[in-house]
Amino acid sequence: MKKLFNILLVFIFVLTVQGFSQTKGKLVIVGGAQTSEIVKKYVELAGGTDARIIVIPNAGSEPVRWSKVQVEEFEEFGAKADFLLFTRETADDEANLKKMDWANAVFFLGGDQSDLARDMLGTKLLTKVFDIYNNGGTVGGSSAGAAIMSEVMITGNELVNKDSTVSFVTIEKGNVEVKTGFGFLKNAIVDQHFLKRKRHNRTIASLIEHPNLFGIAIDESTAIIVYPDETFEVLGSYQVLVYDPIDGNNIREDKSGNLGISDMKLHVLINGDKFDMKTRKVIK
């Protein structure tokens, strides 16, 4: 009995040590068109000259070209960087998993976030990315690589409006297609290229249909840095808008499917502003 008790104590100790040794890392979520200021900050957060970054280009149509461009940008600021080329079928190849063991940071390129989800959801490769993040590593992404960060992911497709000459001109029920993203952020929906591409309608509609979440809408050349304590800081040239429907009320719909809500909050954040995602308040 005493031997069993000692084994149990050792087991509890190991679990405790593992729990303390695992510290969530940082997210760098870019609204698109990242600047050298943002790239420099990402490399700094990833460890500077000790940064070992894997670039994942599966959202884009020219993965080799844009991976090389991104690797060069990281290397200009002293990081070591490489990229992975894979399909859904080859994602869990041993060579890819070994590269992930080498890395302490990951960056997802832009394109179509649905392609990125298709190739990585449910794979060992994605588990490796989470291992890096959950052990203090830095995970980032731009454009599609930003949209993929939330668990509820806007795909960019419309389900009701079929007129390809206009996009997201309504706030109506069932129009904004959402799918499952990677879920680094579980309490928010991320949108990107926000002010430049006038994406207010699709973010507002998504949140009225998911009023338990809040929206983080990031413009181009702008990023948020998400810290382990679930606060984030704005970095960049333009704004980040936070839409908060959680304390809103009177969600409604008219006969045409148009959606309404009362008392939805809006925060317009600029470079240097900080936001607490637990309390959903600007940090002053």
Q: Per residue in 181-227, pLDDT tens?
A: 999 999 999 999 999 999 999 999 999 999 999 999 999 999 999 99
Indicate if the pLDDT at residue 65 is higher than 90: yes
CA dist 63 and 67 (Å) reads 6
Q: Per residue in 72-85, pLDDT tens?
A: 999 999 999 999 99
Q: Give residue 218's pLDDT.
A: 98
Residue 213 DSSP code: S
What sign for the dihedral angle of Cα 154, 146, 129, 19?
Answer: negative
pTM exceeds 0.85: yes
CA dist 94 and 57 (Å) reads 19
pLDDT category at 10 given cuts 50, 70, 90 is very low
pLDDT category at 1 given cuts 50, 70, 90 is low
Domains of the chain, earliest start first:
24-283 (3.40.50.880)
Segment 263-268 shows an average pLDDT of: 98
- Averaged pLDDT of the chain: 94
| Pairs from 251-259 (Cβ < 8 Å, separation ≥ 24) | 251/208, 251/211, 253/173, 256/172, 257/160, 257/172, 257/173, 257/174, 257/175, 258/170, 258/171, 258/172, 258/173, 259/171, 259/172, 259/173, 259/205, 259/208, 259/209
SS3 of the chain: helix, strand, coil, percent, to 5:
30, 30, 40
CA dihedral 177, 219, 211, 126 (to 10 degrees): 60
Q: Per residue in 101-146, pLDDT tens?
A: 999 999 999 999 999 999 999 999 999 999 999 999 999 999 999 9
